[in-house]
Amino acid sequence: MHDGSGRIVVQNLSKQFGAVNAVQNLSFTVEPGSVTGFLGPNGAGKTTTLRMLLGLVTPTSGAATINGRPHSQLGNPARVVGSVLENEGFHPSRTARNHLRVYAAAIGVPDRRADEVLGLVGLGSAADRKAGGFSLGMRQRLALATALLGDPQVLVLDEPTNGLDPEGILWLRNFLRSYAREQRRTVLVSSHLLNEVEQLIDQVVIISQGITRYYGPLDQLRKSQQSRVLVQPADPAALVKTLQENGIQQVSPTPDGRVAVAGSSVQQIGDLAAKAGIAVYGMQEDHADLERMFFQLTQGQYTGGPGYQPQPQYQGPPPPGYPPSGPQQQQQQHWGGPQR
């Protein structure tokens, strides 16, 4: 039997499709009581990972468990984990209620649960409409309703914000937060857009090209945002040399002839440039936002130039409930700027 913990553990998970390394040695843990975002650009390996977690794809190596068990050993899995994956289809001529009743029967829950979950996702008034006529956002809600049928302890949602309007995103945010926090459930949500799930998630696992780039609390990623100064000197090479000689190491020229300096103030840079007799024509403070950091972590192509190096994030103890070696080890192993 499973352990009833509500914990998702992904351990050294890899999947190869022919020559494509879809997922490489991925490890993370998701605990109940919070929403974890599983983020990465298109093709990063999110859906493949979730499919392995849900027993739909066999891993090349490693393991993914829910409540301490692989999906195939969960008994009645719909009672433990509800999921929505990409491109889930509905019988177009079936009403929303009937669609849900078919699934309810399959997992052994009473018919009335269909109306309950329609109410939960705000589709109560559309119960008798055919799913084929639903909008994209309504289909997302119906898919979520299907996932909720078994009142599962764990929810796994692949790109649930796709197709939702701003009101729908707000609704989803409130719904998932209360599902996770008030009911102590586990929620794992993937997305390729950080800003769509930023308000929704507490923890984040960021992957790119099948590899973990960051794993830890979103707050820590936020706090680690570091500003840099873009300097326009008469002689970029001389300024780089002077700054480095004075112990400022995070310095590099940008393609547009400026010098990007992290970990130093405008005043400090100005003083050092003046002392070295280097004319400076302008300086600009540049604050990295979370979205750009996500872009840098996943693409390795920070458009402002190679000088920007955020500090390693989350060096402290693991968040509550995480194993001592989990997030830190993973993160430190992979941190160090973009990896290609």
For ligand ATP, the binding residue among 8, 9, 10, 22 (CB under 6 A) is 22
Q: Is 20 in the site for ligand ATP (CB under 6 A)?
A: yes
Contact residues for Mg ion (CB under 5 A)?
A: 46-47
Q: How far apart are the first and last CA of the chain?
A: 41
**In this structure, what token pair is assigned to residue 71?**
């999906």
Residue 56 vs 237, nearer CB to ligand ATP:
56
Residue 120 vs 193, nearer CB to ligand ATP:
193
CB 305 within 8 A of CB 253: yes
CB 110 within 8 A of CB 104: yes
Residues 6 or more apart in contact with residue 294 via CB below 8 angstroms: 39, 194, 206
Residue 205 vs 288, nearer CB to ligand ATP:
205
Q: Which does 185 bind (CB under 5 to 8 A by kind): Mg ion, ligand ATP, none?
A: none
Rounded to a whole number of angstroms, the minimum distance from the CB of residue 314 to ligand ATP is: 23
Rounded to a whole number of angstroms, the minimum distance from the CB of residue 307 to ligand ATP is: 29
Q: Which does 7 bind (CB under 5 to 8 A by kind): ligand ATP, Mg ion, none?
A: none
Residue 44 vs 261, nearer CB to Mg ion:
44
The alpha carbons of the chain give a radius of gyration, in whole angstroms, of 24
Amino acid at 178: S
Closest of 177, 180, 149 to residue 78, by C-alpha? 149
Q: Which does 20 bind (CB under 5 to 8 A by kind): ligand ATP, Mg ion, none?
A: ligand ATP
CB 81 within 8 A of CB 157: no
Interface of this chain with ligand ATP, residues 24 to 63, rule: CB under 6 A: 40, 42-48
Cα 111 from chain centroid (whole Å)? 35
Residues in contact with ligand ATP by the rule CB under 6 A: 17, 20, 22, 40, 42-48, 192
